[in-house]
Amino acid sequence: MHSLTSFPARLKDSARPRWSHRDPVEGGNPFERHSQSHAKWSRATDSARNSLRRHDDHLNIRLANAEDLKEYQGELVSLATTRFDIWAERGLAVVDSQLLRNEYVTWLHTYAANWLAYVDDTCPHVSINEELKTRLSIRTAHWATVAQSRLSYSAS
C-alpha cells in the first residue's frame, strides 16, 4: 500500500545544486516525522552523504594532479554529474507509485536545469554547460528509467 500520494511541497520546490555536501532539498527531511517516507528518506540521505565523502576523497587526489584547463573542466563536469546522481538516487527511496515517479521525474528536470544555471553563476569563465547539459539529460533519463523499472518490478 502506498503511504504517500504526492511529494511534499517543500520537496517539489527545492532542488538547489551545491558544490558542497549541502542537501539540495532545503529545510531537512520534507516528510512527516513518523512516516515510512521520513525513515526511508533519512536512510537514503545518510547513504548519499557517505557517497559524497568517498567521491570527494578521490576527487581531491585527481584535482591535485590536474594540469590544464581541459582536465579541470572535465573534473567540474564529473563533480556536478556525481552530485546530481547521488541526490537523484536518494529521491528514489520514496518513489513507490506512478504518481510519485512522475513527480520525481519533474524534480529531476528541475534539478538538472538548476545545475546549469548554478554552473553559469559560479563558474562564469569555465565553459562546460553544453557537456554538462548533455550529461544531465542522459542522467535524468537514466534515473527516470530506474524509477519506472523499480515500479514495474514491484508490480510483478
pLDDT of 63: 67
> Helical H runs in the chain?
9-12, 36-64, 69-91, 98-122, 129-155
| Cβ burial, residue 68 (10 Å; 0-12/13-18/19+) | exposed
Give the per-residue pLDDT at 1: 41
pLDDT at 68: 72
Scored b (16 or more CB within 10 A) or e, 44-65 reads bbeebeebbeebbeeeeeeeee
No. of helices (H) and no. of strands (E), the chain: 5, 0
Compute the Cα dihedral for 89, 93, 97, 100 and give only its sign: negative
- Cβ–Cβ < 8 Å for 4, 96: yes
Query: Which pLDDT does position 2 carry in this prediction?
Result: 46
pLDDT in tens for each of the 156 residues of the chain? 446 778 988 888 888 888 887 889 988 899 999 999 999 999 999 999 999 988 888 777 766 776 777 788 888 899 999 999 999 999 999 999 999 999 999 999 999 999 999 999 988 888 898 999 999 999 999 999 999 999 988 776
Measured between alpha carbons, how far is 155 from 75 in angstroms, rounded to an integer? Answer: 39
- Read off the pTM: 0.85
Q: At what angle do helices 69-91 and 98-122 cross, to 10 degrees?
A: 150
Look-up of cell digits 535524468: 140
